[in-house]
Structure 1
């Protein structure tokens, strides 16, 4: 490998900085959870998760320093109040960890695929293994505690049949055909994500002391509620169940366990991740109404994510990423 290929590429820098922010955020959340949860199993899992995140940060820090790259600010102990009372129930945090691990698996896979250097690829390979371990442990614990509600089950077809009618995918008017397994699965998955986002936004709005942060949380809540109502009605029309809401797992605390910066960043990240999942649902669905709904959801989520970024920028909470050299000014 020549000297040029040992330098970090733009995609590697982007992914490493993003992972640093995500892991430092995860550390703050895990520290609050460990300071408040009482369930021994959930505490043990978060303690394991915290160790992994701290190890990731240690490796990322070493990479940045070796490259003489400024260490991202990320999130620190200043962004978490370990004396704050619980903001959510223990069971919520277990569901939260499971959902965030799904996000991690997606992110690590993308980061791995855009990395060139072997040490960076090895790092993301290990991160994927870590995330899969937490995924398995969190899901096993959810199942053991009867807290996991799986997506709807479909009867097995008696035989494989081809699609012979164009109206299966191109029916603009009239009665819609029944959802297929792929469409129902995507809707259920996105509903679960929207319900987790809604609960976070309610809680963050409840404890925030800043008008601009409260306003962006309220904007996000309106969008999350609209998406939940929309997709729940589609599922219920076909007698398919939806995930349970998580609103009742928020405590009455008004003492913020996290900084305004962390809460705004987290809210924006939830909507950005949702955009990728709606895009997947849109490109794999064959009912045009579902495709249209996904497109509309993406546009609404982009608006909320943009509002979160506006608040972050106005308060100086976003770090400027490296830019291309302006050759015209040289």
Structure 2
């Protein structure tokens, strides 16, 4: 049976996952080497193994299809001899955040693929990542460092919305459980973002990158405050994730290219989270907040991309042939 030709969807998805996977391996390799907790090291190693398997499978597909392999990231983008940049609880929060987003990305990649071998690749990635996420959560729970979402009392009877007041941004009702979920989860992800930006700001040797990371740190802190205030206004006081997992090291660890690219990935994840939260929320003030904060992240991400382009750090995804250029070239030759 003839193998089905690979589609544009599949090429773009595989390309993206390869580049992000090679980046993730470098990020985690440093965390693994500096971790002192054996249980946490086991989780980090498992995350690396899952990512390496995915990267290797994509590499083989690109070889078989005779597609140009992305440059991605490698050991030159990390200094494994640098002093520790984070203390041990951080890798669990980092893996929880990144691989939670990975589950979504792999599921979307699976849904956009048609070839059986590529669907199998992403089916395995989803399954492996789900198991990793469960193991990461269990480890955090066992160590007593898992940050639980708020516990609340709910009404005993089923109720239906009566009138548009339920949606009003002016006569604000108490938050429902769906809105609480998104507010809390966005606090958690922004806390990780704040720590990452802090660590990157204090270790880069570039003033331009440092300013960008400080800006990202301030954006995360502002968003955490806005989401926390929304919870407090409904008399909900969630346990707040810690932001003290960054050491005082100022020794460079990751390349500026890797750090800036990683911030574009974090920004894209944040925009996706805010879009989902905006769709799920039923109070207009929350919807407006998510939309305006998403626009702020979009501008931040654009400036990051501008930096990558300016310094020649941004790889071009595969693109279709420019037929007009080919025809012009042919005419020139004749």
With the length of structure 2 as denominator, give the TM-score of the two structures.
0.94
Task: Report Cα offsets for 1:251-285 as digits up to 9, x if no partner.
Answer: 00011221111111111211110001100010111
1:114 aligns with 2:112: yes
Return 132-141 or 154-163, whichever deviates more: 154-163
Counterpart of 1:38 (choices 27, 36, 39) is 36
Q: Work out whether 1:306 is the aligned partner of 2:302.
A: yes
Offset of 1:137 from its aligned partner? 0.4
What is the match of residue 52 of structure 2? 54
Kept after mapping to 2: 8 A contact 1:98/1:135: yes
Q: Are positions 1:79 and 2:77 aligned together? A: yes
Distance 2:278 2:46 in 1: 36
Contact kept, 8 Å, 2:200 with 2:213, in 1: the verdict is: yes
Equivalent position of 1:260 in the other structure = 256
Query: 1:149 — aligned with what?
Result: 147
Given the alignment of the two structures, is residue 272 of structure 1 paired with residue 306 of structure 2, yes or no? no
Instruction: Give the drift of 1:222.
Output: 2.4
The correspondence of residues 1-330 of structure 1 with structure 2, limited to 5 A, is 6-169=4-167, 171-173=168-170, 175-329=171-325, 330=327
SS of 2:24 mapped into structure 1: helix
Which consecutive aligned stretches of 4+ in structure 1 deviate over 3 angstroms post-superposition? Answer: none
Aligned match of 2:331? none
Q: Is the 8 A contact 2:113 2:119 kept in 1?
A: yes
Structure 1 residue aligned with 2:330: none
Aligned residues: 326
Could you tell me how far apart the structure 1 residues matched to 2:46 and 2:251 are? 26
CA contact (8 A) 2:147 2:241 kept: no
In 2, Cα distance between equivalents of 1:16 and 1:198: 29
The separation in 2 between residues aligned to 1:31 and 1:281, in whole angstroms, is: 32
Unmatched runs of 5 consecutive residues or more in structure 2: 328-334
What is the TM-score of this pair, normalised by structure 1?
0.95
Q: 1:242 to 1:309 in 2, by over 3 A?
A: farther
> In 2, are the aligned partners of 1:196 and 1:246 still within 8 Å (CA)?
no
